[in-house]
Amino acid sequence: MASPGKGVSRREILRDGLQMAALVGAGGLGGYLLGNHGQGDDMLWQIDPYKCIACGNCGTHCVLQDSAVKCVNDFSMCGYCDLCTGYFPPEPAALNTAAENQLCPTGAIVRRAVEEPYYEYTIDEDLCIACGKCVVGCAAFGNASLYLQVRHDRCVNCHQCSIAIACPSQAFVRVPGSQPYLLKQRIRPK
Amino acid sequence: MVLTLAALPLLCGGSASGEERFPPPDFTYHKMPETPVPPPPSPLWEYADTAALLAALALATYLALGRRSRNGLLILAAVSLLWFGFRREGCVCSIGAIQDVAEAVFNAHRAVPGTVIVFFTLPIVFALFFGRVFCAAVCPLGAIQELAAIRPQRIPLWLEHTLGIVPWVYLGVAVLYAAGGTAYVICEYDPFVAFFRRSGAASMLIFGACLLVIGIFIGRPYCRFLCPYGAILGLASKLARWHVRIPPTNCIRCRLCEEACPYGAIVSPPAPLAPAERRKARRRLALFLAAVPVWIALGAVVGRMTHATLARMDYQVRLAGWLAAEKDIDPNDKLALDAVRAFRNTGQSPAEVFSAAAARLETFRTGATLLGAWIGLVVGLKLTQLCTRTPRDDYHPDPRRCVACGRCFWYCPEEQVRRGWIQSVEAVLPQGTPVPLNTVARRDSPGEKT
């Protein structure tokens, strides 16, 4: 905008030129990113269950008081064992189904007889603290059908997940919002 | 339990690949449930955020440039703080979006949500036309500090300039780590996100609380001395055609606004230089301009020397270090022990990790050199900029530092006349101040409200 009577000064021409260049630059960068990297839905954090070693950091490093990571039971993989090593302490020598023998520190695994001789194990997510004890137990002697997943009804989707920083196995990955879970039967290697 | 732990490494390999030791039963009556997968929040929130950002930017522009209303800006800041901060919990934000953009530019496979791209671009486009209206009342981090700045004091100009370099350095570091996919440091050290979520690590809460307490007396410490996005916006504002002005019309050089800005953004008209001094200033400018390449070279050399330290944040490099000296790992270092255990689980050979780490280190050598050169450039240009003088005859906000908060408006007698608080500017000028010559002439100009 030229000041009246003075014409356009050199400074103003320079500024306007730079402004146009910056606009084109910002627009070009935004357009390039939208075209080549952009996607409609959000990126979400999820745990790759094949990388996870259930170290327990998920329970303690989440920014939420009650971690957004919970254990899931992948029923299609579960053996429905009576002597579940995810539910009972995985000590083969002294394994029995006595009530005091629960492995879960908060009693978050619900055990229910379904059909002789099978038992169904469901997770009470409000009680689960993502300590990973059952995950380790199930993987040690069972089918590894218990594993940890970020629950997206709880996760606040921090841009930099605090658990991802503390994850020793690089199991935290960004997944597209259209496929928010990495369930083992879907991503089974080979 | 000891037995279990001993057996674990043997068994983990098999189970990790999904081998079924106990085949899932075929039930006669029982119906096997689906594994529950609660869906993420609707993507509509993302679109709502984008719309809210555009609306807030437009409103902030109107309030700062059109209405010139500090109260309006404060209310908008409070609303932005509630919405973008406490309701949407601080993510995604424009400051953090820098890292997505940096990573996407350097990594062809990185997908970026459209919202993030809009959050990065839109405030810059607004700044190119209207200045830092985003900082004024849209950014939740700016808003919380603006509301906390109850007794802001001015700090010496030399300190303001020195600390003003930090955001550029922070920007360089953040881009270096984001581009390599190592970490998002801006988010990791976000001071206020823990408040927005009402939950977070103790270190985050303490850092945020400290900044807020400091912010009572030294306004907006994060915006001025840390925020890398503010630095970018400041540069864009320099080109703004319709930047916020102190007087509504013309500056009468009454000096009443001189002390108004707690952020040190108000620039006085420079006194004319004597010819001898002018020559000296020119020589100094030439000298500092010539020194810029020296600064860059110096920075590059120093940066290159620090690449190993900078690379220590990278996972591959750390893992290689732990594997190379496995016996020296502190038994209390849970992260290192777990990382080694996780590595054993993958069945990779250490040689693969070592070669990957060597490649990372090589990347960091280039990155650290560029970062050093960048810091050298910033220092060199800052010193050069301190040698320049823009001849002006009015008081105006330095667009780089002005966050369009509107504090200075009320100090201006012209503004008080515009609002009808006083009849003429003479009423508020200090006793004995000669009325500036240009007052009468300019205030009689056509189109002027009286």
- Answer yes or no: do B40 and A177 touch at CB < 8 A: yes
Determine the pLDDT at residue B131. Answer: 94
Residue B150 CA: distances (Å) to CA of A61, B134, B159, B212, B219: 35, 21, 21, 11, 8
H or E element that contains B205: helix B202-217
The per-residue pLDDT for range B71-97, each reduced to its tens digit, is: 999 999 999 999 999 998 888 899 999
Confidence of residue B434 (pLDDT cuts 50, 70, 90): low
A111 and A62 Cβ atoms separated by less than 8 Å: no
User: How many Cβ pairs within 8 Å bridge chains A and B?
Assistant: 230
On whether any CB of chain B is under 8 Å from the CB of A3, the answer is no
- Answer yes or no: do A168 and B8 touch at CB < 8 A: no
The per-residue pLDDT for range B49-59, each reduced to its tens digit, is: 999 999 999 99
Chain A residue numbers with beta carbons less than 8 Å from the beta carbon of B115 are 42
Determine the pLDDT at residue A94. Answer: 67
Phi, psi dihedral angles at A120 (to 5 degrees):
-105, 135
Q: A117 vs chain B: nearest CA distance in angstroms?
A: 10
User: What whole-number distance in Å separates Cα of residue B265 and Cα of residue B136?
Assistant: 13
Q: Give the residue from B141, B99, B145, B135 showing the smallest Cα distance to B237.
A: B135
- Would the CA dihedral through A1, A13, B289, B277 be positive or negative? negative
Report ipTM (2 d.p.): 0.86
Chain B residue numbers with beta carbons less than 8 Å from the beta carbon of A118 are 25, 27, 30
Say whether pLDDT at B255 is over 80.
yes
Beta bridge partners of A148: A71
The per-residue pLDDT for range B323-377, each reduced to its tens digit, is: 998 888 888 888 999 999 999 888 889 999 999 999 999 999 999 999 999 999 9
Say whether pLDDT at B440 is over 60.
no
Q: A25 vs chain B: nearest CA distance in angstroms?
A: 10
Chain A residue numbers with beta carbons less than 8 Å from the beta carbon of B26 are none
* DSSP strand pairing (A38-39 vs A146-150): unpaired
Chain B residue numbers with beta carbons less than 8 Å from the beta carbon of A170 are 315, 342
- What's the rounded mean pLDDT across residues B405-410? 92
- Answer yes or no: do A144 and B15 touch at CB < 8 A: yes
On whether any CB of chain B is under 8 Å from the CB of A31, the answer is no
- Answer yes or no: do B22 and A142 touch at CB < 8 A: yes
User: What whole-number distance in Å separates Cα of residue B214 and Cα of residue B149?
Assistant: 9
E strands, B222-306, in order: 266-267
H or E element that contains B113: strand B112-113
Q: B60 vs chain A: nearest CA distance in angstroms?
A: 20
Determine the pLDDT at residue B5. Answer: 40
The per-residue pLDDT for range B147-160, each reduced to its tens digit, is: 999 999 999 989 99
Q: A178 vs chain B: nearest CA distance in angstroms?
A: 9
How confident is the prediction for chain B on average, in pLDDT? 88
Chain A residue numbers with beta carbons less than 8 Å from the beta carbon of B12 are 139-140
* B17: nearest CB among A158, A176, A189: A189
Domain extent listing, chain B: 48-237, 289-386
Interface test with B, best of A158, A185, A188 (most B CBs within 10 A): A158
Q: A107 vs chain B: nearest CA distance in angstroms?
A: 19
Single-letter residue type at A169: S
Confidence of residue B13 (pLDDT cuts 50, 70, 90): very low
pTM of the shown model? 0.89
Cα dihedral B251→B256→B261→B265 (10° resolution):
40
Looking at beta carbons, which pairs linking A97-104 to residues 24 or more positions away fall under 8 Å? A103/A133, A103/A134, A103/A137, A104/A128, A104/A133, A104/A134
On whether any CB of chain B is under 8 Å from the CB of A118, the answer is yes
Chain B residue numbers with beta carbons less than 8 Å from the beta carbon of A67 are none
Single-letter residue type at B440: V
Confidence of residue B427 (pLDDT cuts 50, 70, 90): confident
Chain A residue numbers with beta carbons less than 8 Å from the beta carbon of B46 are 41-42
On whether any CB of chain B is under 8 Å from the CB of A26, the answer is yes
Determine the pLDDT at residue B75. Answer: 97
User: What whole-number distance in Å separates Cα of residue B305 and Cα of residue B314?
Assistant: 17
User: What whole-number distance in Å separates Cα of residue A84 and Cα of residue A103?
Assistant: 10
pLDDT in tens, chain A (190 residues): 444 445 678 888 998 999 999 999 999 999 999 888 887 778 899 999 999 999 999 999 998 889 999 999 999 899 998 888 899 887 756 666 676 778 899 999 999 999 888 999 999 999 999 999 999 999 988 899 999 999 999 998 888 899 999 999 999 999 988 889 999 877 776 5
Question: Of the given ranges (B266-270, B318-322, B359-363, B374-378), which has the lowest mean pLDDT?
Answer: B266-270
Say whether pLDDT at B446 is over 50.
no
- Answer yes or no: do A155 and B40 touch at CB < 8 A: yes
**To 5 degrees, how large is the angle CA B333–CA B336–CA B339?**
145
Determine the pLDDT at residue B437. Answer: 45
Confidence of residue B436 (pLDDT cuts 50, 70, 90): low
Q: A189 vs chain B: nearest CA distance in angstroms?
A: 7
* A63: nearest CB among B34, B197, B336: B197
Chain A residue numbers with beta carbons less than 8 Å from the beta carbon of B21 are 79, 141-143
Beta bridge partners of B266: B397
Determine the pLDDT at residue B432. Answer: 59
What secondary structure does DSSP assign to A115-164, as a single string? Answer: ETTEEEEEE-TTT-----HHHHHHHHHS---EEEEE-TTT----SS-HHH
User: How many CA within 13 A on the CB side of residue B260?
Assistant: 24
The per-residue pLDDT for range B281-314, each reduced to its tens digit, is: 999 999 999 999 999 999 999 999 999 999 999 9
Determine the pLDDT at residue A189. Answer: 64
What secondary structure does DSSP assign to B297-349, as a single string? Answer: HHHHHHHHHTHHHHHTTSHHHHHHHHHHTGGGS-TT-HHHHHHHHHHHHHT--
Determine the pLDDT at residue A115. Answer: 85
Domain extent listing, chain A: 1-38, 43-176
Residues 6+ apart with CB under 8 A from B213: none
Determine the pLDDT at residue B267. Answer: 85
Chain A residue numbers with beta carbons less than 8 Å from the beta carbon of B99 are 159
B80 and B143 Cβ atoms separated by less than 8 Å: yes
Name the residue in chain A with its Cα closest to that of B32.
A75
